[in-house]
Amino acid sequence: MSKTILVVDDSASIRQVVSIALKSANYEVIEACDGKDALTKLDGRKIHLIISDVNMPNMDGITLLKEVKMLPNYKFTPIIMLTTEGSDSKKQQGKAAGAKAWIVKPFKPEQLLQAVKMLASA
Amino acid sequence: MMDMNDALQTFYAESEELLEKMDSALLLVEGGDNNDEVLNDLFRSAHTIKGSAGIFGLFHIVNFTHIIENVLDNVRDKVITIDKDLLNVLFKAKDHMGTLINTDIQVYEESEELKEISSTLHSALNKYADIKTSEIQLNEVDSEINSDSKSTNWNIHLKLSSDCLQNGMDPISFINYLMSIGTIHKIITGMSELPNIQDMDPELLYFIFDIEFESSEPKSAIEDTFMFVIENSTIDIIETNSPIKQFIDVLITDNPTVTQIDTANIKQTEEFSEKVTVSNNDNGNSTTTDSNSRTKFVRVNSERLDILINLIGELVISKQRVDSICEKTKDDVLLEAIESLGNHTESLRDAALDLRMVPIGETFQRFRRIVRDTAQELGKDIELTITGGETELDRLMVEKLTDPLIHIVRNAMDHGVESTETRIEAGKEPQGKILLSAFHDAGHVVIEVSDDGGGINKKRITEKAISLNIIDESSTLSDQELYALLFHPGFSTKEEVTNLSGRGVGMDVVNKNVQALQGSIEIESEEGVGSKFSIRLPLTLAIIDGFHVRSGSSDFIIPQATVVECMDLAIFSTVDQRRCVNLRGEMIPYIDLKEFFKLKTTEPEQVVHHKKTRKEVVIVQFGEERAGLVVDDLQGEIQTVVKPLSSIFKCLPGISGSSLLGNGEIAFILDIPQLIEKSISTENRPMETFK
Amino acid sequence: MFNLVENDDDFEIKINGDLTIYNAIETHTYFSELECQQNKKYTLNCEDINNIDTSGLQLLVAFKNKVISNQALFELKNIESEVLSKINLLNLKSELFITE
């Protein structure tokens, strides 16, 4: 049974690269272009993992994370935050909001897949 | 926008590079140079290919490369040393990786042959993967504790942070992940922390796991599994049967074998115990990509580069046009500004050309492998020496040069270098030598392949040429003319064409390829001492510094590098009715462009404009040959972009390309090697134009 | 989500849905409040559990502990393969009295 992953990023090319990597490892991928868009995709279907950018228009990744934590059907979904800044205030905010898994861009697809596999193999 | 195909293309290009890197590294190792850097490169290359292939679902590559990576990891960690056999297997395995990368996964699935090769190489490599484990077991007690070693048994004790389930991190996922990087022999789920149901918070984690795990992955990879739950977790990863484990066992069982552990081991144990304590520090930075301080390279699509260079070429032409207009204005300020523009245009052109220049060294490195393999096939002992690898030339030429060079080198090894017995008989060193060198020479790049073999047997060439009716028995040929016969189609002196140099193309094709690059091949040889093939090439194909001449109403450009000098034809007296001029005692054949290209004679009125109706001769040189080109008018030096000829002109002898002049006229770029050859061959024909 | 059926000395609890952290609180409440009578058998019918995670397994073990501490009997039945494979993974078969 293949797992479904929601990929949230305002950069279409990053979404595409991530999707390519995930699909090649037999994951189903749903794409969203920002936090708001992502919330509309959380419509009851099973999502095994969320990969989200931090800096995005409309709704950023940290806010998305907080919102997800309040959705009864999704609050325990593992979330991987993609970030370009390794250790700035965003990360502190994210941590405060409960983000645990961070991947710093640019990442190798294999790194991402490894992280996905660690978190979505239950 | 990037799609799968773009990404795949990048993967192919990247893999190609990595394979070459592996090749160079393997050759260095073979040469005895196996420092950590080289071994690391070797490992990383295989590792990266495997990783990327996985992204693209190319599991035939992943599966095959996995074991290579494994073996190389052992080599890198000095668990095994590379011996000659392993080196041979690794070379073959590397080649097979190349094949797999170029083979569609579906095609691979259906090819029993490829699968067979994969599995043969796998079993060959497996030996080295196995050796390491048994060795480690043998040396267990006195080996230094290498916590990152392979196929090792581990005890993993996991007491993960109690809130990890709430963060969506299920230990089951981590355990499943572990199963993908190794084998779980046993899991004990500890219940000691699980409270009565009334007292438990159902969203917290209480289970504790003890896992017996075997993996060839380094300890760091096992630790990485838990990188997202490391906060507030206790994670102990301990090598089974390591001194510390024995120590712990002893303490737990209070077994008298405690006396067996000597102080040295205790000391190691203490050091080790520092290592096994996984820090609870934030480990997030472990996902950053390693940055190194080496020169950064940007990968650019070569088409884009060509467009840029083409545009700069057009700019150079426009600038020349502006030049000619400005000169008429006699406006000093404008002229000054234009001069400065000119300098910058030139710098820009140079910089752009530089982008296309690559050192030939990379290509040369491939020859280490080719020479090695060929020598093995031939059963000869041949050493390759490379010099001038830093010499740069046009990337397009490098690509087109590889095949001709391979052929020449193989030829030298097969026909040139003698067998060891023959060499010993001749009093030579048993080991044959091939020298591959490159250097710049007067606006050209020269690439030489020399050997210390038997030299070219002139008698045999003559006999063969006669038997093939290429020459007749009465011909007396100079050495150069004789060697030129080697480039004659269908010419091969070795009675039995071996499957090496006889494979595919002949020397005639080699010569044509080099000529297509506006280059030429010269041969020097001395019987019993050796031969030297010199390929002489222009630096670039894109832009040439030329010498603009007119003949009739047509414009021609002579590549500047070939021009020796210009003279008034009238000062020469023709020699013995031959089409030949005497230049300071040297007889030089000439050719009249007007006659050669059958051009219309200039209108008489135009001739009147000239101070006198005289002819100029431009002496050109290519390689060692010289010739004169008779033209009507010298227009001076010009810098111009070479445009490929449209197909109707392709059959025109003596023309290699075309170019737009500043005034919009088309000029033909002369193919000097071809013209020199023509002039020599027509040297003895009676003159028509000049009496 | 839970249906309790009494059957002579036996109680069968039909669990309708997955046992994951999403319904861990509901499951926990049900299991903690259920009164266990001595010498009765409590059978969890798992045929509708398609998925289970660590929190669900913890609850199963905790409930089993409660049942046996009340000197009652505990049994799981109709375990789906997906669920069984996770029980096997964590080596909980004997812990949960699974014999087959």
Contacts of A73 in chain C (CB under 8 A): 22
Which chains sit next to C, with 3 or more Cβ pairs under 8 A? A, B
Which residue, among A1, A74, A76, would best test binding to C if mutated, counting the most C CBs under 10 Å from its CB? Answer: A76
Catalytic site includes residue B637: no
pLDDT, tens digit, 9 for 90 and up, residues A14-59? 777 788 889 888 899 999 989 999 999 999 899 999 999 887 778 8
- In the CATH scheme, what is the homologous superfamily, with its name and number, of domain C2-89? STAS domain (3.30.750.24)
Compute the nearest-CA separation of A58 from chain B (Å): 23
- CB contact under 8 Å between B197 and C95, yes or no, is no
Distance CA A52, CA A8 (A): 5
CATH tag, A4-120: 3.40.50.2300
Q: What would you report as the CA-atom Rg of chain A, rounded to the nearest whole angstrom?
A: 13
Compute the nearest-CA separation of B62 from chain A (Å): 12
Quick one: average pLDDT of B490-506? Answer: 50
Range from B2-6, B507-511, C53-57 that averages highest in pLDDT: C53-57
Question: Domain boundaries in chain A?
Answer: 4-120
What type of residue is C1?
M
- CB contact under 8 Å between B284 and A111, yes or no, is no
Compute the nearest-CA separation of B180 from chain C (Å): 14
At residue B211 the predicted structure's pLDDT band, cuts being 50, 70 and 90, is very high
Which chains sit next to B, with 3 or more Cβ pairs under 8 A? A, C
Contacts of B195 in chain C (CB under 8 A): 62
Q: Is the pLDDT reported for residue B285 higher than 60?
A: no
pLDDT, tens digit, 9 for 90 and up, residues B366-405? 888 888 888 888 888 888 998 888 888 887 788 888 888 8
pLDDT, tens digit, 9 for 90 and up, residues B75-109? 887 888 888 888 899 999 999 999 998 888 778 88
Helices and strands (H, E) in chain B, number of each type: 22, 22
Per-residue model confidence (pLDDT) at position B308: 82
Chain A positions touching chain B (beta carbons under 8 Å)? 12-13, 16-17, 20-21, 24-25, 49, 76-79, 86-87, 91, 98, 100-104, 106-111, 113-115, 117-122
In the three-class reduction of DSSP (H, G, I as helix; E, B as strand; rest coil), residue B444 is classed as strand
Closest CA to B456 of B487, B480, B488, B483: B483
Contacts of B166 in chain C (CB under 8 A): 21
Q: Is the pLDDT reported for residue B55 higher than 70?
A: no
Quick one: average pLDDT of B58-78? Answer: 83
Size of interface B-C (CB pairs under 8 A): 69
Q: Which of B34, B153, B155, B411 is catalytic?
A: B411
Q: Is the pLDDT reported for residue B365 higher than 70?
A: yes
Contacts of B176 in chain A (CB under 8 A): 121-122
B265, B141 Cβ separation under 8 angstroms:
yes
The pTM is what?
0.41
> Which residues, in sequence order, are CB contacts of B20 under 8 Å at separation 6+?
B362, B365, B366
Compute the nearest-CA separation of B169 from chain A (Å): 6
Q: Please give the structure tokens belonging to residue B612.
A: 């006198």
Catalytic site includes residue B488: no
What type of residue is B459?
K
Range from B321-335, B597-611, B673-687 that averages highest in pLDDT: B321-335
Q: Please give the structure tokens belonging to residue B678.
A: 């023509």
At residue B569 the predicted structure's pLDDT band, cuts being 50, 70 and 90, is confident
Contacts of C58 in chain B (CB under 8 A): 194, 200, 202, 205-207
Contacts of C22 in chain A (CB under 8 A): 72-73, 75-76
Q: Which of B20, B69, B392, B625 is catalytic?
A: B69
Long-range contacts of C12-16, Cβ-Cβ distance < 8 Å, separation of 24 or more: C12/C43, C12/C44, C12/C45, C13/C42, C13/C43, C13/C44, C13/C45, C14/C45, C14/C47, C14/C48, C15/C44, C15/C45, C15/C46, C15/C48, C15/C49, C16/C48
Catalytic site includes residue B411: yes
Question: Domain boundaries in chain C?
Answer: 2-89
More confident residue, C19 or B411: C19
> Is residue B115 exposed (0-12), middle (13-18) or buried (19+ Cβ within 10 Å)?
middle
- CB contact under 8 Å between A72 and C22, yes or no, is yes
Q: Which of B47, B407, B488, B548 is catalytic?
A: B47
Distance CA C78, CA A81 (A): 39
Per-residue model confidence (pLDDT) at position B1: 39
* DSSP per-residue letters across B85-106: HHHHHHHHHHHHHHHHHTS-HH
What ipTM, to 2 d.p.? 0.95
Within 10 angstroms of residue B285's Cβ, the number of other Cβ atoms is 11
C17, C1 Cβ separation under 8 angstroms:
yes
